[in-house]
Amino acid sequence: MSYLSTVNFFEDRAFVDKWLYRIRTGELDLSWMNASTEKVKPRPENPRRGLIYRDINLGSYGVEAIPEKVRSNRSYAPRGAELPPGLPDAQAWVSRKSELWAHNTDGYYEEAVTRQWNASTDIPWDHLQGVELPEATGKALAQLMTFLTEVEMIATDTPAMWLPRLNSDFVEVKAFIAAQTMDEARHTEVFRKRALTTGYGLMQASPMNEMALKHLRDADSFSEMSVALHLVGEGNVLTLFRFSEYLSPTDVDKKIFRLVMQDEARHVGYGMQHFKWVLEHYPQKREILHSHLDEAENISFAAGAATELTEAFIILAGGGLKSENIAQGVRITTAFQLKQMQEHFERLEKCGMPERKSVDRSKLFAMFEMGKAAAAEAGIKF
């Protein structure tokens, strides 16, 4: 046990005597009833929607009361509570608002809790009865699902790691990150189930993608993690989900990808709004964000070309292993990869960083321009 109480209460005579005195006399202290906190009585703005975080955003309990640097509360106490002497230092890593805040954080959390779905009962698994995919397609689908199971487990671990590191004053962000962790755990579950129901089981892990995933887990700051996970990684996966839904061989697969897409879009939305918040409130951090993006884009480019993913995607897109299938699969996969890059830079532009769309500023953009030229030469449109 890494944390030990500073007092052995079993041997603290004063503490034991006080406990026994209360039992004998029923005398109460009641000092907590005089807590010097703000008295409010929130009501739901929309009774049909219920009482949401935005309705309790009042006075000292509201998000506007959070300073850029939270110095007063180093404990686990909820924002707005009285802080008596003796509270332990929770040693939060993140106590700066600019490190994690985002426009509409509470809204993303509210959406998450109202749009939960069940990987056991909301997927029509019974529709797979009697479905036999061709071997090449079935194995390619199993490989894609293996890759996605791998990805989503790290996407579960990574935000979860940050929960105890965030100052307790940032309750809305902590709530959103907790909801995201549940989303990712559900994605892991549904992709694992689909891999096994192909009849081919799990296929091969991807060293290249695991290197990229380790980059997410080992981020030095919350903002670096968010750039790499929410903005770059999940942004790319969102495009992947959309293409995968289009290519899905069964209605079960289409349903899976539609459901995971709605979750992934919410995570990307938080990442974009966090990025915008930092740029708007702390423009001096622009170069730091560029540095985060440089590394995230490098890793993303490598992971996107991993053999285990690319070849499976080509076979699924083309519908088999015949030469004409492969040719069609290469065309669709190339269009998908270029679309991933294009949408990445479009997101950055919407966040307020249009300068990434330059070969001098972003090496990924240089690869995008090179890929576009090669695709045009091959007659591939995207």
What does the block give as tokens for 50? 């219920």
How large is the C-alpha radius of gyration of the chain? 25
Which positions ≥6 away from 102 have C-beta within 8 Å? 108, 173, 270, 271, 273, 274, 276, 277
Please report whether residue 94 resides in a domain.
no
Specify whether the CB–CB gap between 141 and 74 falls below 8 A: no
* Distance from C-alpha of 375 to C-alpha of 377, rounded to nearest angstrom: 5
Please report whether residue 176 resides in a domain.
yes
The pLDDT assigned to 208 comes to 86
Cβ burial of 274 (10 Å; 0-12, 13-18, 19+) is: buried
Please list the residues that pair with 94 across neighbouring strands. Answer: 166
* pLDDT per residue of the chain (382 residues) written in tens, 0 to 9: 667 888 999 999 999 999 998 989 999 999 999 999 999 999 999 999 999 999 999 999 999 999 999 999 999 999 999 999 999 999 999 999 999 999 999 999 999 999 999 999 999 999 999 999 999 999 999 999 999 999 999 999 999 999 999 999 999 999 999 999 999 999 999 999 999 999 999 999 998 888 888 888 888 999 999 999 999 999 999 999 999 999 999 999 999 999 999 999 999 999 999 999 999 999 999 999 999 999 999 998 988 778 999 999 999 999 999 999 999 999 999 999 999 999 999 999 999 999 999 999 999 999 999 999 999 999 998 8
Please report whether residue 346 resides in a domain.
yes
Q: How many helices (H) and strands (E) does the chain have?
A: 12, 0
The angle at the Cα of 73, spanning 54 to 5, to the nearest 5 degrees, equals 125
* Distance from C-alpha of 320 to C-alpha of 314, rounded to nearest angstrom: 9
Specify whether the CB–CB gap between 94 and 100 falls below 8 A: yes
Number of domains composing the chain: 1
The pLDDT assigned to 2 comes to 67
SS3 234: helix
Please list the residues that pair with 96 across neighbouring strands. Answer: 69
The Cα-based distances of 252 to 36, 143, 190, 290 in angstroms read: 56, 17, 11, 40
Please report whether residue 216 resides in a domain.
yes
The pLDDT assigned to 243 comes to 95
Q: Give the distance from CA 102 to its chain's centroid.
A: 13
SS3 363: helix
Block residue for tokens 């972003």: 362
Please report whether residue 73 resides in a domain.
no
CATH code: domain of residue 191: 1.10.620.20
Q: Tally the residues of the chain.
A: 382
Please report whether residue 31 resides in a domain.
no
Q: Which domain holds residue 318?
A: 101-377
The pLDDT assigned to 236 comes to 95
Please report whether residue 7 resides in a domain.
no
Please report whether residue 34 resides in a domain.
no
The pLDDT assigned to 5 comes to 85
